[in-house]
Structure 1
Amino acid sequence: MMEMVVNGRFLCRPTLGVDRVARELVAALLARRDAPALRALHPEAEAWDVPAALSATAVPGPGSGALWEQAALARATEGRWCLSLCNTGPLALRRQVVMLHDAQAWDAAESYRPAFRRWYRWLQPRLARRAALVLTVSQHSRARLERHGVVPEGHAQVIPNGADHILRTDADPRILERHDLQRRGFFLTLGAQARHKNLALAIDAHRLSPERLPLVIAGGGGSVFAGHETPDPPGVLRIGRVSDAELRALYEHAAGFLMPSRTEGFGLPALEAMLCGCPVLASTGGALPETCGEAAVLLDPDAPEAWSRKMTRLLRAPSHAAALSEAGRAHARRYTWAASAERLARHLAALPS
């Protein structure tokens, strides 16, 4: 059986974004009978068995960054295959499977610090040419990575995200009580501050809405730039980071979920919302049309008036909202981590031992 080292750098960080994908993919891969023998290497421990590493609390340390990944991890693999699922990996390794989630360092350059942008733009094309197998998460991401010369044409294989993790945790409705939120009495969006997330659009659409239900912004962080320089108008409620249980409760009780990003490599929150029965209004940017299909209302990311009208329709036409909710559930059920791990297992099985 192939022995594979999991690049465990993501185990030192909160489970957000690409780190969520890494945890869920590895856990789903472990559940398969045909999984390779996996061993996690982690900046805060010499060697952890993978199940223990996945269940551990993230404890970032001073040695958990790029230097550890490029030097210590590269040495510790000792000729075994390395599985790097979070956009970076040891450049020295050829026996490596690397997942590049998007081309945001090129497509959304203004969202990132110059040093970060330069590092990704230098590392990722070289990594993609040295690694034996390159993965990405959508046809859109593959096309953009090819367009920018990061990945040779036809070289990357697509493994979509799953969304069923959101149903593993019971909803915690206390988040609604703490913020005096009523069932179907608010709209929800996520508050990553990167400019390409286009949070300003959601705020402007809320301001234009005649209904004036609260706009709840959950989460936050993720960029240098807020992208909305003026103070929030009345009715915008920023509640900060929330747990998975709290997020599920918000999805289940919101009148609609807004995802106005100008570009996305995949757009996982849209599927999470759908799986919880929340109608989704999503941008036509990036991979969102591919991910959402016909199960969301797709809108121009530069047209707040159109978003406001659709928000009003969700409130005034309950049958429309119910149909969108039902279509979303059916669509999102197709995206499971087990199905993603099956695709990954097939690619790993084709690698030379």
Structure 2
Amino acid sequence: MPDINETLQGNTPAPDTDQTVTEQVEAPATEQLDAFAAGVEEARAAETAEAAPAVTPPADPAAVVDPAAPAAPVEGEGGQPAAPAAADPNAAPAAPAAPAPVEAPKSVEDEIKDLGITNERTQKRFRDLSERASEADSLRERAGKVADWEQTIQSTGATPQQFGATLLYLTDINSGDPVRMNRAYETMEAELKFLGEKLGREAPGFDPLAAHPDLAEKVKTGDLDRAAAVELVQHRQRGVLQTEQQQNQQRVSQSKQEEDKGLQAVADLGAQLRASDPQFQQKFAYLLPAIEIIQSTLPPAQWASAAHQAYLRLPAIPAAAPAVATRPNNPARASAAPAVPATPKNPSDAFSFGVAEAQAQGR
């Protein structure tokens, strides 16, 4: 089911993606690891480019041989072309060229040495990041396997109770314990009876004609053969199953439409709150638990209204205290010493004293 937390924030989730809040928080860490790995690869490429030998052009341009030109014939005695050398029939066949050795991946210590990292603190940081990168790859692989397994289970349409009963049934079969194997047999009998009722087929403890008294009466009077009557029961049950399947598909389609409408209403609410409340992002952190309960307990048609009510019940967040303005420094003062004496030396200096005091106050 789509997450209405992202929809309320205005972040539309990608199709077929069930990303949890924890994965969203851990995503920047994975991106940092990927960026670190890209930096290491770039350093390797730069080092390889510096270590590659330069190609020295030949001194004599005439000595350059055109690979497309035919080879010059080798002259023999008397100026005649020499005959090609005959192959030795006793010579051993030429050995095939050995494949180029595959370079083994470098260790972390080799990477540190190649990159020229000498600071111990930087080396430790490099080792930690390398270890985290390898752990991230392992966790990413395991998470992919778990996601595939969950998708496989969901594709069967089994409920958690059915899946648990299936695992118990398989465990009983493979246990070798007669008591548990008898339990597996009884479980299989119950499943056969269930399938017999759905398909109209005979099964242990189930008579297909029991639910169709009209056909049972014809069989009793001899107007209809039992095998033909059972076939008619199966034909009726196929029609019932097709009707149920169509109804289920309609319910799934209707549920999807209701979810889409609910998500759209939540998205509109999020856009309205972001535009009207400058503290929306700060308040949203306190709203997350309530939204999770709303999505799991209420129908999609009530998601937006319930989220809005929960938002209105949030307490006001106090505004940040304004920064205290500091007195500007007087550039005319060369040191922290007082610019003027506390009192004028004589009455004639009163005017100069007032001017200096005003400058010291930044006026």
TM range, smaller chain: under 0.3
The structure that is strand-richer by fraction is 1
TM-score by length of 1: 0.22
TM-score by length of 2: 0.22
